Amino acid sequence: MDIKNQFPIFKNNPDLIYFDNASTTQKPQCVIDAMVNFYSSCNANVHRGAYKIAEQATAQFENSRQIIAKFLNANENEIIFTKGTTESINLIAYSLESKLKPGDEIIISEMEHHSNIIPWQMLQKNNISIKYAPINNQGEIDIKQLESLITTNTKLISVIHMSNVLGSINSLDQIINLAKQNNILTLIDAAQSISHEKINVQELNCDFLVFSGHKIMGPTGVGVLYMKAKHADSMEPFLRGGQMIKEVTKNNTTWNDFPWKFEAGTPNIAQVIGLSKSIEYINELGLDNIKIYEQDLLNYLLLNLKNIHDIDILAHHNSSGPIVSFNIPGCHPYDIAKLLDGKNICIRAGHHCAQILMESLKINYTNRISLFIYNSKKEIDYFIEHLLKVITILK
């Protein structure tokens, strides 16, 4: 699957080997063109103007909502646009704050990204308890341990679908079924899985699901919050201002209809339009085809990494996404990443915004490789060749 020529960054950097896709993905020309076209042809605010280009802008914006809803098998009015996964989770945390009482509990896991930890810690000031489900020896959320944490005070389970460190894919069916049996809300962080796995929110039956556009070849600055329609009336808006209102008087304000109730101010119009083009691009390639290709790449990478003496590869005992974290004794991850950068190879070094997971694994940091559809076995060969040279230098 050689599609690199559809991505301008690789044309402008022909020697670039980009293995940091869990951080952000590169953008195909069609996404960039869609944003340029909006600014060049119909740049106007949405939902407001009665003139032609404003109506065109609104049509493109709302058509994007339809495309994304269909991609998730959601209803159109269940798609809320935010700045990203982080804002989406904060929106839910803020909106739930008034519904929770002292002694209530929220369950998350030890493998969560900081963006699915800190917003819930904010609620501890109200004596809301946070419980952490541990991970098992396979690098996945331990379902039995999670179940043991559930009490009559548990109000929400918020977990990551695919670990941004380990690549582990958690059993959402089991987790959500447990939650439903106990009348507990569920939030799924799909930031990593959205571009690799088919997600059907109707089949999952989760209450909330979040992801960021830039993880799926879309622009930065735009995210999606799926909120099951039945929660719309009871949830308070996170941001207040224009667009999210129906009527304003000196002493009172009424909220707009769902989903615009949660979209205060001028939205990231060009970014939303760009995101819809990335979704269309994904649909053209086919998620099944993408998954087959990436799994082949992942297996090839793991096979080559396992031949390296003393390497410690985290997790990857079961089916996983195309994310691999590793450590090599005597070689600091930052030094490895910096030396590889000298050969135009981009990998990540650090704790990957997952310090609680690092603590659980009794490590401080790792190197991380995350693959995507524009990567190749040839690039992996080049990476392995120079990784071995870097190890020789550092040891």
Give the residue numbers marked as catalytic. Answer: 353
And the tokens for 313? Answer: 């590869």
Number of H helices, E strands in the chain: 13, 15
Rounded Cα gap, residues 306 and 286, in angstroms: 30
Distances (CA, A) of 74 to 14, 144, 224, 262, 332: 39, 30, 12, 17, 44
Q: What is the DSSP letter of 230?
A: G
Q: CB neighbours of 323 closer than 8 A, spacing ≥ 6? A: 22, 162, 163, 164, 165, 166, 167, 192, 368, 369, 370, 371
Beta strands in 165-244 (DSSP E): 185-189, 208-212, 223-227
Q: What is the DSSP letter of 28?
A: -
220 CB neighbour count, 10 Å cutoff: 16
Closest among 168, 163, 231, 237 to 201, alpha carbons compared: 231
And the tokens for 170? Answer: 């958690």
Contact 72, 211 (CB under 8 A): no
Rounded Cα gap, residues 282 and 277, in angstroms: 9
Closest among 371, 267, 385, 297 to 18, alpha carbons compared: 371
